[in-house]
């Protein structure tokens, strides 16, 4: 009996072809001379090693990798050789691989929508980096009682219903989240579909709303009390009100000038949302039609953004992104975007498994989801197999492992905000490479 290929099979096939293509090698190498000779750690092996989620010391990982997949003597690849090889590799290669996932998924797969929108959460967080003079120079300094360390800011645009990272940025630690949001907006061509972006109150600015509107991107944005018209709206009996903003602050005008834009009047709808504790929050939205988008939908819609909080939690506490494998800016960028790719690949495989879990647990009291923590661990080593071999049993085995110990989903469960800014244990890198 012939096996039916699933969505994850098709995505993995595309990734596999990409890695093997000559054009991909050319686009990833620093110079034309790189990866032209038969080295101990050639291009494909280097890519696969960096995707094989690292948890041990770097030398142990190299030894383990070679013994399983390299066919070389156990001690044939050293940290030094690895560090030299990785300096020839652009970090953009991992972004290209992630783009393969996005193109395949949003073109050929059955993705979830809300009112014909892909719902995207946007948020940022600080990221501690290992100590080096280069990283201090390129990312900036965080001062603590005990030490000085480099610190970056990361920002992610995340598909909340499908658990896919659309775009992710890493920049200097003193950068604002709003300029990084512009890069997310400009990346939406990758999904070629109507998007609804959800922002926390740290993003509230008329210039950003204006930019979203001229880019034809709809949004929901939580506002602070000091935002124009919010205080008077809160004091009124209105639940929803359309405001025509004809002017904006000088700061917004200057920001738009930098983008080559001139502000003109825009209409924004303000909506009151009453939280469970009685607190009233104000949301700004481009969804002006009150009949099509009634007030009652916005509370649940806004709180979909908790999904991006859990994504940051997985990134920091499960993948341990702050445990970087090098001390150079290039190595930080490589590690960061390799992990973005791994998280998306995990989500794609989990989608196929989730449908089976749903079918098998129709009579269960709770809905069950794939255990993301366990499944991430199961991808260790197996990600190399699925990206190097077309054997169906490798994918079947991985999907079977993803079914183990699914998590029950209980309504009303919330996640604490402080997950994003916890003090991590990797202030001094434990897998120092370069």
Residue 418 included in any domain: no
Q: Could you report the per-residue pLDDT of 69-108, keeping only the tens digit for each?
A: 765 544 567 788 888 889 999 999 999 999 999 999 999 9
Residue ending a domain, among 308, 335, 352, is 308
- 296 versus 276: the higher-pLDDT residue is 296
Q: Do residues 165 and 208 both lie within one domain?
A: yes
Same domain, 64 and 198: no
Percent with pLDDT over 70 in the chain? 88
pLDDT range class, residue 431, cuts 50, 70, 90? very low
pLDDT digits (tens, 9 = 90+) for 149-191: 899 999 999 999 999 999 999 999 999 999 999 999 999 999 9
Q: Which residue has the higher pLDDT, 363 or 292?
A: 292
Residues 363 and 228 grouped into a single domain: no
Q: Could you tell me the residue range of the domain that residue 254 belongs to? A: 109-308
Tell me, what's the pLDDT at 58? 74
Same domain, 185 and 144: yes
Question: Given 308, 338, 363, which residue is the final one in a domain?
Answer: 308
CATH number of domain containing 196? 3.30.2170
Q: Is residue 412 part of a domain?
A: no
Same domain, yes or no: 61 and 205: no
pLDDT at 417 over 60: no
Residue where a domain stops, chosen among 255, 280, 308: 308
Which class for 76: exposed (0-12), middle (13-18), buried (19 or more C-beta within 10 A)?
A: middle
The pLDDT of 6-18, averaged and rounded, is: 93
200 Cα distance to chain centroid: 16
Number of domains the chain is built from: 2
Least confident of 130-139, 254-263, 420-429: 420-429
Answer yes or no: is pLDDT of 250 > 60.
yes
Place 285 in a pLDDT band, splitting at 50, 70 and 90: very high
131, 68: one domain: no
Give the span between the Cα atoms of 284 and 368, in whole angstroms: 33
- Look at residue 161 in the predicted model and tell me its pLDDT: 94
**Is 283 a member of any domain?**
yes
HEC string of the chain equals: CCCCCCHHHHHHHHHHHHHHCHHHHHHHECCCCCCCCCCCCCHHHHHHHHHCCCCCCHHHHHHHHHHHHHCCCCCCCCHHHHHHHHCCECCHHHHHHHHHHHHHHHHHCCCCCECCEEEEEEEEEEEECCCCHHHHHHHCEEECCCCEEEEEEEEEEEECCCCEEEEEEEEECCCCHHHHHHHHHHCHHHCCCCEEEEECHHHCCHHHHHHHHHCCCEEEEEECCCCCCHHHHHHCCCCEEEEEECCCCHHHHHHHHHCCCCCCCEEEEEEEEECCCCCEEEEEECCCCCCCCCHHHHHHHHHHHHHHHHHHHHHHHHCCCCCCCCCCHHHHHHHHHHHHHHHHHHHHHHHHHHHHHHHHCCCCCCEEECCHHHHHHHCCCHHHHHHHCCCHHHHHHHHHHHCCCCEEECCCCCCCHHHHHCCCCCCCCCCCCC
Read off the pLDDT of residues 19-73 as tens digits, 9 standing for 90 and up: 999 999 999 999 888 887 766 678 998 999 999 876 667 777 777 777 777 655 4
More confident residue, 317 or 429: 317
Q: Are residues 286 and 391 located together in one domain of the fold?
A: no
Asked whether the predicted pLDDT for residue 422 surpasses 50, the reply is no
Whether the pLDDT of residue 419 is over 90: the answer is: no
Within a domain: 233: yes
**What average pLDDT does range 289-296 have in this prediction?**
95
Put simply, whether the predicted model's pTM sits higher than 0.85 gets the answer: yes
Answer yes or no: do 187 and 48 share one domain: no
Residues 13, 148, single domain; the answer is no
Task: Please indicate, yes or no, whether residues 165 and 193 belong to a single structural domain of this protein.
Answer: yes
Q: Is residue 204 part of a domain?
A: yes
Summarised one tens digit per residue, pLDDT across range 325-383 is 899 999 999 999 999 999 999 999 999 898 888 877 766 677 888 888 888 888 888 99
- pLDDT, averaged across the chain: 86
Residue at 221 is within a domain: yes
Is residue 304 in a domain? yes
The predicted model gives 288-313 an average pLDDT of: 89
Q: Does 128 reside within a domain?
A: yes
Res 65: pLDDT: 77
Same domain, 136 and 85: no
Residue 291, phi then psi, degrees to nearest 5: -75, -45
Are residues 288 and 353 both part of a single domain?
Answer: no
The per-residue pLDDT for range 121-144, each reduced to its tens digit, is 999 999 999 999 999 999 998 877
């Amino acid at each position: 009996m012939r096996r039916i290929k699933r969505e994850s099979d098709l995505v993995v096939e595309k990734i596999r072809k990409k890695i093997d293509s000559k054009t991909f090698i050319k686009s990833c190498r620093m110079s034309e001379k790189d990866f032209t000779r038969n080295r101990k750690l050639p291009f494909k092996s280097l890519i696969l090693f960096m995707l094989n989620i690292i948890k041990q010391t770097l030398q142990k990982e190299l030894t383990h990798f070679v013994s399983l997949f390299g066919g070389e003597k156990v001690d044939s690849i050293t940290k030094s050789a690895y560090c030299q090889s990785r300096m020839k590799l652009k970090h953009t290669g991992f972004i290209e691989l992630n783009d393969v996932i996005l193109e395949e998924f949003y073109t050929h797969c059955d993705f979830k929508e809300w009112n014909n929108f892909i719902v995207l959460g946007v948020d940022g967080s600080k990221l501690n980096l290992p100590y080096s003079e280069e990283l201090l120079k390129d990312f900036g300094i965080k001062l603590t009682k005990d030490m000085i360390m480099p610190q970056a800011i990361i920002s992610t645009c995340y598909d909340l219903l499908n658990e896919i990272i659309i775009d992710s940025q890493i920049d200097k630690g003193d950068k604002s989240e709003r300029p990084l949001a512009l890069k997310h907006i400009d990346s939406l061509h990758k999904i070629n579909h109507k998007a609804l972006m959800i922002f926390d109150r740290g993003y509230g600015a008329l210039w950003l709303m204006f930019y979203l509107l001229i880019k034809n991107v709809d949004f929901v944005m939580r506002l602070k009390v000091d935002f124009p018209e919010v205080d008077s709206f809160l004091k009124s009996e209105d639940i929803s009100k359309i405001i025509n903003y004809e002017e904006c602050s000088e700061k917004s005008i200057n920001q738009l000038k930098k983008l080559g834009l001139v502000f003109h009047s825009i209409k924004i709808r303000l909506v009151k949302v009453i939280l469970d504790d009685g607190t009233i929050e104000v949301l700004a939205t481009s969804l002006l039609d009150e009949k099509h988008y009634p007030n009652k939908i916005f509370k649940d819609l806004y709180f979909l953004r908790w999904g991006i909080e859990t994504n940051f939690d997985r990134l920091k506490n499960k993948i341990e992104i702050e445990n970087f494998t090098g001390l150079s800016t290039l190595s930080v960028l490589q590690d960061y975007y390799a992990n973005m790719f791994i998280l998306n690949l995990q989500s794609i495989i989990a989608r196929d498994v989730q449908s089976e879990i749903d079918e098998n647990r129709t009579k269960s009291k709770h809905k069950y989801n794939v255990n993301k923590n366990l499944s991430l661990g199961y991808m260790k080593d197996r990600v190399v197999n699925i990206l190097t071999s077309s054997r169906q049993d490798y994918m079947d085995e991985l999907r079977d492992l993803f079914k183990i110990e699914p998590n029950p989903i209980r309504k009303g469960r919330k996640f604490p905000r402080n997950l994003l800014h916890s003090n991590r244990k990797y202030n001094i890198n434990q897998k120092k490479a370069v």
